[in-house]
Structure 1
C-alpha cells in the first residue's frame, strides 16, 4: 500500500489554491523547483496528471480535482490531531490585526474555530486600516497583521490576490459631463490612492464627496447614490454592483493580501496560529480569486 506524504499534499493544495507554482512555493517556504518535484512525485504515485501547466499558471485536471478533496480531508485530520495533542500545553496571548474586509466575515469564523481548539490562548483582535496595522506590527504592538496592498510589503508573506472593483449603486449611470463623485477612506489608503491615480491617468475629472473610515458607511453612501468607490471583491453587498461594464472607468490593479509578523519573542504561539489559520483563510478566499 502506498503512503501519501503530508508535506507533498500541503504543497499540492497550495498550488491548487494559488493557481501558481511560484506563489505556492513561497507559501510553503520551498523553491519552485522543489515544489514542482513534489507535484511530479505525487502524480507518479497516483498515476494521474493532476495539473494542466501553462505560462499563466496551473489548473487542476479532473483527477486533480478529485485528489484535492481527499488532500484537504487528510490535511484537516492531520492538523486536527496535532492541534488536539498540542492544545493542552500551549497558553498565552496573541495580538492580531485585521482590516475591515476580513473583520466582517472571514476571520471571526476562523477565530471561533481556533478558540475552541486552543482555549488557553487569548486572541486580542484589532480591526484597523491597513496603514495603521502595518505601523503597529513594526512597532511590536501587534504580533500578526493581515494587510491589503497593491504593492509588495517588505518582509510580509503572500496570502492571496483578489480583484479590485469599481462599485456603485444598482442604478449608477456614468456621466461624461460631470466629475466623478468618489466615496473613499481617509488617507493614507491604497484604495483611495489607486482610484485617484487611475482617474488622473485617464484624464477623468473626479472629486472626493464622501470620506469615511467605516466600510459599512461607505457601502451605505454608495447605495444612496452619492458616488462610486473601489474595493476588493470581498463582501460586496447585494444592493450594490461592480461597474466592470462601464468602459470609461479605468482597469484596476489586484489587491494582494499579505501577512506581516512582528519580530518579538512570541514565536511559538504566533507560528502555531499561522499554521492553523492561513491554510483555511487561503481556501476561503480562493473562490474570490
Structure 2
C-alpha cells in the first residue's frame, strides 16, 4: 500500500490552517487550481472526504481532523530529519514575549508544533501588552518580541513603522465587536470593554472616540483578551478586536450596527517580530527565522 505524499499533506495542512483554498494558495506558491488538484489526489488516496467546501471556506471533516494530526507529525518529522542531516537544529533556551492579541485561539497549538519540530528548543513564553514589549525592546527581558501595531495613514506613522520594521507575520482588520444582543441595542453613551489603559489598543480606542466626540464610558476593564471575551459575551459592552482575536459568543458589528452606534472606521493591525538587537546571537537569529516561518 502506498503511503501519503508529503507535498499533498503540506497542502492539506496549509488549507486547514488558512481556512480556504484561496488563502492557502499564495502561502504554498501554487495556483488555486493546483491546490484543489493536490487535495483531490489526497482524498482519493485516503478514500474518504477530508474537507468540506462552502461560501465560508474549507473545513476539515471528522476523517480530515484525524489525518490532520498525523499530517502535522509526519511533516514535523520530515523537517527534523532534514535539519539533523544538515546540522540545522535549534538547541538552547529562548525567551519569547507575545502580545495577547496574536491569534489567542491558535497560539498554543502553533507553539506546540514549533516544539515538536525543534525538540531541543526550550521555549519560555510570556504574554505581554504590545506597549510593554516595545518598551523593553532594548532590554534583556526577552530574546524575541512579537508585538502588534495599528496602521494609520499618516506620514509620521509610516516613518515610525519604517524605523522599527521588524519581520511582518500577518495583517488583520480591526472590528467593533459585542454580544449579538448588545449589537442591536445602541446606547447614547458607548459602554466600552477594554484592557487596562497601559494597553495600546485601549489608548487608541479612547483617543479615537474623543477625537470624534463620541460619548463613552469604561464599563469593564479586563486583565487580558480571555477576560475581555468573557465580559463581551456576558453583554457588558462593546470593544475593538483584531479578526483572529474574536472569540465565541462575540460578533463583529456590521455596517448598519456601526452606523447606529455612531462608531468611527477602524484601521488594520500588523503583527510582527521586533527587529534583531545589536550583537544578537546566531542561535536567536535562527530561532527568529523559525518563528517567522511557523507563526506567519
Q: What is the aligned partner in structure 1 of residue 226 from structure 2?
A: 216
Structure 2 gaps, min length 5 = 1-21, 42-71, 152-160
Using the size of structure 2 for normalisation, the TM-score is: 0.65
Residues 1:259 and 2:273 are matched in the alignment: yes
Matches of residues 37-186 of structure 1 in structure 2 within 5 Å?
A: 62-63=33-34, 79-85=79-85, 90-102=90-102, 104-151=104-151, 152=161, 154-173=164-183, 178-186=188-196
Using the size of structure 1 for normalisation, the TM-score is: 0.66
Residues 207-259 of structure 1, C-alpha deviation per residue, up to 9 Å, x if partnerless? 22212222222112212222111110113222111112312322100111011
Structure 1 residue 115 displacement after superposition:
2.2
Structure 1 gaps, min length 5 = 1-15, 25-41, 43-49, 51-59, 283-289
Structure 1 residue 147 displacement after superposition:
0.7
Q: What is the aligned partner in structure 2 of residue 249 from structure 1?
A: 263
Q: What is the aligned partner in structure 2 of residue 205 from structure 1?
A: 215
Residues 117-158 of structure 1, C-alpha deviation per residue, up to 9 Å, x if partnerless? 333221111111111122233213211111111142714221
Structure 1 residue 68 displacement after superposition:
11
State the aligned residue count.
232
Structure 2: how far apart are the matches of 1:280 and 1:69? 26
Structure 2: how far apart are the matches of 1:68 and 1:143? 39
1:240 to 250, 253, 263: 250
Structure 2: how far apart are the matches of 1:273 and 1:66? 34
Structure 2: how far apart are the matches of 1:69 and 1:148? 38
Bigger shift: 86-95 or 245-254?
Answer: 86-95
Structure 1 residue 273 displacement after superposition:
2.2
Q: Is the 8 A contact 2:183 2:253 kept in 1?
A: no
Structure 2: how far apart are the matches of 1:221 and 1:257? 24
| Cα distance, 1:90–1:258 mapped onto 2, change above 3 Å | closer
